[in-house]
Amino acid sequence: MFLTARTRLVFRLLAVVGFAFLYVPLAIVVLNAFNSSRTFAFPPTGFTTKWWRLAAESQGAKDGLVASLKAGLGATAIALVLGTMAAFAVQRYRFFGRSSVSFLVILPIALPGIVTGIALQNAFHSVLAVDLSIWTIIVGHATFCVVIVFNNVQARLRRTGAALEHASADLGATGWQTFRFVTFPALRGALLAGALLAFGLSFDEIVVTNFTAPPDVQTLPLWIFGNLFRPNQAPVVNVVAAVLIIVAVVPVWLAQRLTDDAAGSRF
């Protein structure tokens, strides 16, 4: 290895500082969830679990959670189907305009959220004349979740290659049988990881959601945003925030277990 002991030490120290930068703010949110001061005076003078009880009783937070789960599941289902199809087409066939497909898939996540948001709102409102509902949220989320499934599946297809599928066809399997018994089992991990990550993205989205949600539907991020500046609600919001931080570990850990590509090909 070309690294001297001193270089290793330098990079180790820099990495420690970097990880501290990533985690200190999150740690403070979790700490403040127990801070007995309503205004989060720092350092805390006392600790309490009172806010957790209040948060557990908050109807707004519960409704938000339900709306976010619905939006996330709907968007993930659509993204799984569309993303897998596009990944197959791009990875297993050669055709004119192939690179444009990748470009088009990336576009909804690469363009600024506000552009996607107002474009969709305008389309729903003045072009299609549909009322905003949970479905318009799902359509918006699915559009930018496709790329995540696409990239996970594409990475897996690239690695497994087409040899097994050819072998299966040579042995007389129909196209469906090959998919059912050869391709799908090889893809399962990538599909699950893609689904988890897509769900996570949808669950957290606010910029586009703000423009595609009707006034009477609040996803969890919209609820948080709506209550962030209300002094009364601040401790409850903080508890919800702390829960979200802790819960975030689960899908990441699962996705990591399911596929080694998770880090390299999230997008």
Partner 1 sequence: MLLLVPPMTWLVVVYLGAIAAMLVSAFWTVDSFTENVVREFSTANLHTVLTEPIYRTVALRTLFVALAVTAIDAVIAFPIAFYMSLVAKPRLRRFLVVAVLTPLWASYLVKAYAWRTLLAPDGPLSWATGGYTPGYGETALVITLAYMWLPYMLIPLYAGFERVPRSLFEASADLGAGTWRTVRSVVLPLVFPAIAAGSIFTFSLTLGDYIAVGIVGGKTQLIANVIADQVVLNQPLAATVALIPLLAIVVYLIAMRRTGALENV
Of residues 110-139, those binding partner 1 (CB under 8 A): 110-116, 118-123, 126-127, 139
Does the footprint of partner 1 cover residue 152 (CB under 8 A)? Answer: no
- Residue 59 vs 100, nearer CB to partner 1: 100
Q: Which of residues 160-189 bind partner 1 (CB under 8 A)?
A: none
Does the footprint of partner 1 cover residue 193 (CB under 8 A)? Answer: no
- Residue 48 vs 88, nearer CB to partner 1: 88
Does the footprint of partner 1 cover residue 200 (CB under 8 A)? Answer: yes
Does the footprint of partner 1 cover residue 85 (CB under 8 A)? Answer: yes
Name, in order, each residue with C-beta under 8 angstroms of 186's C-beta and a sequence gap of 6 or more.
Answer: 156, 160, 164
Does the footprint of partner 1 cover residue 88 (CB under 8 A)? Answer: yes
Does the footprint of partner 1 cover residue 95 (CB under 8 A)? Answer: yes
Min separation Cβ 53 and partner 1, Å: 20
Min separation Cβ 251 and partner 1, Å: 6
How many residues at the interface with partner 1, by CB under 8 A? Answer: 95
Give how far the C-alpha of residue 145 lies from the chain's centroid of Cα atoms, to the nearest Å. Answer: 8
Separation of alpha carbons 125 and 120, rounded Å: 8
Q: Which of 56, 66, 89, 130 binds partner 1 (CB under 8 A)?
A: 89
Q: Give the angle subtended at the CA of 163 by the CAs of 160 and 165, to the nearest 5°.
A: 90
Q: Which of 75, 236, 237, 258 binds partner 1 (CB under 8 A)?
A: 237
Q: CB of 148 within 8 A of CB of 83?
A: yes
Contacts within 8 Å (CB) and 24+ apart, 115-123 = 116/140, 116/143, 116/144, 116/207, 116/208, 117/207, 117/208, 117/210, 117/211, 117/212, 118/211, 120/208, 120/211, 120/212, 121/211, 121/212
Min separation Cβ 158 and partner 1, Å: 11
Provide the H-helix boundaries in 93-170: 98-110, 113-122, 134-160, 163-170
Min separation Cβ 186 and partner 1, Å: 17
